[in-house]
Amino acid sequence: MQKNSNYLVEVRNLKQHFINGVGSHKIKVKAVDGISFGIKKGETFGLVGETGCGKTTTGRSIIKLYKPTDGEILFNGEVISRGAETYIKNIRQYKIDMSEEIATLKTKEASTEAIKEVKEKYRDLIVNEKIKIKDVKRLYREETETMRKIQMIFQDPISSLNPRMTVKEIIAEGLRIAGEKDNDLIDKKVADILKIVGLLPEHAFRYPHEFSGGQRQRIGIARALIVEPELLIADEPISALDVSIQAQVINLLNNLQKEFGLTVLFIAHDLSVVKYFSDRIGVMYYGNMVELTTSKELFRNPLHPYTRSLLSAVPLPDPHYEKTRKRFAYVPHEYHNYTEDNQPSFVEVKPGHYILASKEELVEYKKQLK
Amino acid sequence: MDREKILEVKELSVSFKTLHGTVKAVRKVTFDLYKGETLAIVGESGSGKSVTSRAIIGILAGNSIHEGGSIIFEGNDLMLIPEDEFHKLRGSRIAMIFQDPMSSLNPIMKVGKQIVEALVLKLGLSKQAAKDRALELMNEVGIDRAEQRYFAYPFQFSGGMRQRIVIAIALANDADILICDEPTTALDVTIQAQILELINKIKKERNLSVIFITHDLGVVANMSDRVAVMYAGKIVEYGTADEIFYEPRHPYTWALLSSMPDLESKEMLFSIPGTPPDMHHPPVGDAFAARNKYALAIDFEEQPPMFKISDTHYASSWLLHEYAPKVKMPDILSRRIARMQKKVKDAKK
């Protein structure tokens, strides 16, 4: 699946670890631990999971708000950011190998020349890796061109808009950063984009606090769209809104996506909302992707126990159904029996349907397919 | 009704004084709460549902004006009794759970102490007795290893755990009425399901009367015995959960129900056009008329009274008047009801 070049964005074995605390309190949080997926041009990809599963982190890594720990992210076939952990690990391994080799040589009482030779061999290898690390850092710093083609909408429409800037300033900021200096053009573009997201051009001179939650989210969308991005990352754009407003924003995003042919990465915790958008859905659990398939297939054939547990937790507006609904919790060790030589991997159960499973489980899942 | 009324809200009106004039937040709201039932109040933000509940527990903001009406609890009008008497009721008879568990807990106080605080102040328990009781409560709300967690700070807890602590505090004094003000809005679906199950369990065990405020109709369907739908400070429809979900009569209830996403349909989601009215100057007629495609001419001129549909079901819409044209609920809704009923039947088999 990783070889397909139809993907606009490709995430390969992305790892994002955070280090907290110092000394003996040092904790490594593995927010994202090796996920791979691709988003095709023009499609909407939904990323679902509970709080803390790493879905937001994934989104933020793609837009380069974080330096990835490992793995790489490709945009339009080009690497836009890459992690250096493999190289750091290689260096560590070389150092260990070197000291071992020297130790064995010393027991054999080899000449100093031979030891020197070994040292030099490893030094070259290490220098090589160090150059690669430098490249990674330079890439992260200098590659800014594609950043204009990725934009993000945030969860909280109140804290994501600067209260001291007028709507026009907020929306035009992206244009100005991109180097646009023609004020008339900026005015025109802002007025156009406001109309597109369902606001009035007069709104441009007001401040964010004068708007309701739904309208503020529209401003956030306008700000993202004005630079004409190719990829839009929507990070729970509606979970802070009221039901009736939620529907408005969902429909607006849907229309915009069709109109501009945008590619959207939609992040949410509620499967019922994601369904309205997504062509394909990826389900995440504690830093791993557990299931990935088309939206239709996921609702017809949820295979992974975590996906089924998520589906069973969605409340629906029907009292008779609700009062008989059985929710079941997902407790990993009850469902899986992973041992050293029975590790799960992300495999294809049927074309286009991927799941995190061990070999035994895969057989089991294949039986369950409808 | 043979059941015992525990709380009666009669024609309650509350306004707020602001720089731009008075905001009429609650306008003549009337409802009863029976012993052991869950009444859900549904509505958008700004519909006055939170203000109603805050009036019941007596924590309205300083700029509020009591425009009229009463809240009768055990023969007393809660809107009139002095603060020091209210002090005896609040917490011990009527308790409340708030939306955001992070801001309703004290961040620099250990959770155990926060639970004990309520016990010592209200019941006058000794320190040791209070601690034992607090541990019992923590077990009851499903916190394992309570002995150790007793000494933890709120920031060491996850959102769901914090909400459990808030529930434990609310339960500390065996209140009769529990008001839940959007207790699960800040949580995600799996944790939400756990908290709702907990509230339901506690309600049954303690025979609590619950007022449950939310804007999520899925949650309402799960929790409620009766539902009141609020819009622009008024109750527009009022009935048992079955009546509201299967035979809704008010256009606003229709709109709310149709805008709920569900797992099956893939069609365009219905959205209510426009925004709620500005409550500085509430509309003369039906507040929902401007956003309502079924609105009649009279909707813009005169407020509809409450029409009685059955003994338990009331709705305030001119469409229910005998001279009004007969309008059926939207197709999208009747289709979903049929689909869901089939699903429930299949599940029973």
Nearest-by-CA chain B residue for A318: B221
> What is the spatial distance between Cα B118 and Cα B120, in angstroms, rounded to a whole number?
6
For residue B262, list chain A residues with Cβ-Cβ distance below 8 A. Answer: 272, 316-317
Who's near A272: CB < 8 A, 6+ residues apart?
A314, A316, B261, B262, B263
pLDDT for residue A2: 45
Nearest-by-CA chain B residue for A310: B190
Shortest Cα–Cα distance, A94 to chain B (Å): 40
Indicate whether A124 belongs to any domain. yes
Indicate whether A89 belongs to any domain. yes
Pair A233, A150: CB distance under 8 Å: yes
Shortest Cα–Cα distance, A70 to chain B (Å): 28
A322 contacts B222? CB cut-off 8 A: yes
Total number of domains constituting chain A: 1
Who's near B152: CB < 8 A, 6+ residues apart?
B110, B111
String of DSSP letters for A143-188 = --GGGGGEEEE-S-TTTTS-TTS-HHHHHHHHHHHTT---HHHHHH
> What is the spatial distance between Cα B327 and Cα B325, in angstroms, rounded to a whole number?
6
Residue A279 contacts B, CB cutoff 8 Å? no
String of DSSP letters for B165-178 = HHHHHHHTT--SEE
| pLDDT higher than threshold 70 for residue B266 | no
Angle between helices B189-206 and A305-312 (to 10 degrees): 50
Which domains, from first to last, does chain B contain?
1-93+178-349 (3.40.50.300), 104-174 (no CATH)
Pair A356, A345: CB distance under 8 Å: yes
> What is the spatial distance between Cα B317 and Cα A325, in angstroms, rounded to a whole number?
33
Mean pLDDT of B263-285: 77
String of DSSP letters for B213-259 = EES-HHHHHHH-SEEEEEETTEEEEEEEHHHHHHS--SHHHHHHHHT
A52 Rama class: left (phi>0) / alpha (psi -120 to 50) / beta: left
Q: How confident is the model at residue B265 (pLDDT cuts 50, 70, 90)?
A: low
Who's near A281: CB < 8 A, 6+ residues apart?
A45, A46, A47, A48, A271, A274, A275, A292, A293, A294, A295, A298
Residue A167: name the closest of A118, A129, A208 by CA: A208
> What is the spatial distance between Cα B117 and Cα B101, in angstroms, rounded to a whole number?
17
Mean pLDDT of B55-60: 89
Mutate to test the interface with A, among B100, B155, B188 (most CBs of A within 10 A): B188
Which tens digits make up the pLDDT trace of A21-39?
A: 787 878 888 889 889 999 9
Residue A97 contacts B, CB cutoff 8 Å? no
Is ipTM beyond 0.90?
A: no
Q: How confident is the model at residue A163 (pLDDT cuts 50, 70, 90)?
A: very high
Indicate whether A53 belongs to any domain. no
Pair B190, A313: CB distance under 8 Å: yes
Opening angle at CA A84, ends A83 and A89, nearest 5:
135
**Coil/strand/helix, residue A314:** coil
Could you tell me the CA-to-CA distances from B135 to B115, B178, B199, B204 in Å, in that order? Answer: 9, 21, 18, 21
Mean pLDDT of A255-283: 87
Classify residue B296 by its DSSP letter: -
| pLDDT higher than threshold 60 for residue A293 | yes
B259-262 long-range contacts, Cβ below 8 Å, gap at least 24?
A: B259/A243, B259/A244, B259/A246, B259/A247, B260/A243, B260/A316, B260/A317, B260/B217, B260/B218, B261/A246, B261/A247, B261/A250, B261/A270, B261/A272, B261/A273, B261/A275, B261/A276, B262/A272, B262/A316, B262/A317, B262/B336
CB-side neighbour CA atoms (13 Å) of A332: 8
Shortest Cα–Cα distance, A268 to chain B (Å): 9
Q: Which two three-digit tokens encode residue A62?
A: 């793609």
| pLDDT higher than threshold 50 for residue A1 | no
Residue A32: name the closest of A1, A54, A4 by CA: A54
Indicate whether A99 belongs to any domain. yes
Pair B41, B213: CB distance under 8 Å: yes
Q: Find the domain containing A98 and state its range.
A: 85-142
| pLDDT higher than threshold 60 for residue A108 | yes
Indicate whether A116 belongs to any domain. yes
Residue A305 contacts B, CB cutoff 8 Å? no
Residue A315 contacts B, CB cutoff 8 Å? yes
* For chain A, percent of residues with pLDDT exceeding 70: 98
* For chain B, percent of residues with pLDDT exceeding 90: 31
pLDDT for residue B13: 93
Amino acid (1-letter code) at residue B13: S
Mean pLDDT of B149-169: 89
Which tens digits make up the pLDDT trace of B223-253?
A: 899 999 999 899 999 999 999 999 999 999 9
| pLDDT higher than threshold 90 for residue B102 | no
Residue A31: name the closest of A18, A19, A48 by CA: A18
Indicate whether A122 belongs to any domain. yes
Interface of A with B in 40-59 (CB under 8 A): 50-52
β-strand partners of B188:
none
Pair B101, B166: CB distance under 8 Å: yes
3-state secondary structure A329-349: CCCHHHHCCCCCCCCCEEEEE
Find how far residue B337's CA is from the centre of its chain: 24
> What is the spatial distance between Cα B94 and Cα B89, in angstroms, rounded to a whole number?
6
pLDDT for residue B2: 58
Element (H, E) at A275: helix A271-275
Could you tell me the CA-to-CA distances from A127 to A94, A114, A120, A138 in Å, in that order? Answer: 11, 20, 10, 16
A248 contacts B271? CB cut-off 8 A: yes
Q: Which residue has the tokens 């003000």?
A: B181
Indicate whether A96 belongs to any domain. yes
Shortest Cα–Cα distance, A238 to chain B (Å): 12
Task: Write down how long chain A is.
Answer: 370
